[in-house]
Amino acid sequence: MPTAPALSPSAISPNSAVQSSPPKTASVPLPGSQPAKSAMSLKIYISGKFYDKEDAKISVYDHGLLYGDGIFEGMRSYAGKIFRLKAHLDRLWDSARAIWLEIPMTKDELAKVVNDTLALNGIKDGYIRLVVTRGAGALGLDPNRCSNPQVIVIADHIQMYPKEMYENGLSIITASTIRNHSAALSPRIKSLNYLNNIMAKIEGLQAGCVEALMLNAKGEVAECTGDNIFIVRKGVLQTPPIDAGILEGITRDAVLDIAGELKIPVQQIPLVRHDIFIADECFLTGSAAEIIPVVKLDNRVIGDGRPGPLTRRLTERFHQLTRE
């Protein structure tokens, strides 16, 4: 079966002006979501060229669209510097190897593209979405029939949660949707197929919560739909281990590094919901979310129902670290 060619928008040079027309209809955000800042003149990188946001397109035959066959990274920039870029690229390459996908450029080349995309869009404090798709192929699963993996870099702004949730803490629920079994699709692969997380996210939203806790097949705590989870119990920082079926989060690793620096005891051990119910503090970490406190799980108050002192201390040091 012949493959369909990629759509061919007109490339623009970094210095060219772009005239963008406003959208005809306004989107309605899900409960708890926050729209990104207006980005009508954003430039999107796709496989060697920059395009106006409205013209940034790939083939509808791309297996990234048809089957979620691809990988991605979400990164933050602070004062024009991407936080832990090397760690993000290393994880991207690990994900690619795990799904038998060859990224058509080197890490150094991709790092330059990411920085160029930030600079072109004039973004200092922002969010970068890096995507690699399998490429256009036939209407079938065979990856051998795909060609030209597409590398996409989007630089924009993101606000995961309102400011008051960072100040007062989140209320979350436990989703009935369990985290993918590692023998089926490893949660360590940051793939374009996020339906497992989305189904749990929908449960949270339907319950009036912006996040939801996911358990693994053993009934142990894994992670939330978009964030890793930590608790504090008697001065000890605890978080599920990698083999609990979690993404090895970049912000999670940063918090572990900070804990070591501040001489805070850390345990990476299996946890169950009971451990969260009796915890003194709880918080979530993620590149987009950064560090956000949790004060309730399944309507049960955690600690005294307010963000705890260790959470605040780690958050303060994390914000310092992002500017170093």
What's the CA gap between 9 and 98, in Å, rounded?
A: 32
The answer to whether the CB of 127 falls within 8 A of the CB of 76 is: yes
Contacts of 28 (CB under 8 A, 6+ apart): none
Catalytic residue selected from 86, 190, 234, 296: 190
- Cα dihedral sign, 228-161-85-282: negative
What does DSSP say about strands 126-133 and 43-46: parallel, antiparallel, or unpaired? unpaired
What's the CA gap between 316 and 308, in Å, rounded?
A: 12
The residue type found at 319 is H
Residue showing tokens 């990224």: 103
What's the CA gap between 277 and 306, in Å, rounded?
A: 14
Is 190 designated active site? yes
Contacts of 63 (CB under 8 A, 6+ apart): 69, 70, 133, 134, 135, 136, 137, 143, 146
Which residues participate in catalysis according to the annotation? 190
